[in-house]
Amino acid sequence: MITDERIADYIRSLDRGNGPFLDRIERDARREEVPIIRKETSALLKTLVAAGRPKRILEVGTAVGYSALLMCQAMPEDCHITTIEKFPPRIAAAREHFREAGEEGRITLLEGDAEEFLRTLKGPFDFVFMDAAKGQYIHWLPMILELMPVGGILLSDNVLQDGDIIQSRFAVERRDRTIHKRMREYLRALTGNDRLQTSVLPVGDGAAVSVKIR
């Protein structure tokens, strides 16, 4: 845990849920160990979308569509989400969830490798939610920034790696060292970039909120 378990439990106790349909998707995903956004971070995501009132949203990492549908609850009626996923079983589940929610007209699901799409997509995207392969964040950042206008918001999830980010690379398991190194590089890139104003928050598994200021 990044934060005290008692504090996390209390914050979760304040959560009102997201309606029967999304709550079911969340329960199913957690039971099947599908990596979806954590409960604390979902509230942050919806709040940022509601505050920013974006016209176009880009999501990197659809999974089963849970976070895209969360954003649909908070975004303006005329907003559109473009979301990218490459894992076929999750693509099928996401499409079914979008259909059940009646949101197919406001969500475009791109099937395939995120980097290939990031090289060809046309911006601007007022809000970007990064929640895919953590070791690739650092490689995708320059392309993401080119797709965002000044004032655009980037939310990056899972940046503190359950607290492991503060450990020496030799203190984490060997298989995780590359991701550990790249995430540290990513956080330095976010906080050291003079085009961005960034706050790193110990919410969920860690979230970085960045605003493009120039």
Per-residue pLDDT tens digits for 130-144? 999 999 999 999 999
Please report, for the domain that includes residue 28, its CATH number: 3.40.50.150
- What are phi and psi for residue 152, nearest 5 degrees? -70, 150
Edge-first strand order for the sheet with 80-85 is 107-111, 80-85, 56-60, 127-130, 153-157, 207-212, 196-201
Give pLDDT, residue 9.
Answer: 84
Q: What pTM was computed for the model?
A: 0.92
The count of structural domains within the chain is 1
Q: Which two tokens stand for residue 180?
A: 């550990």
- Higher-pLDDT residue of 199, 134: 199
What's the domain range around 156? 5-212
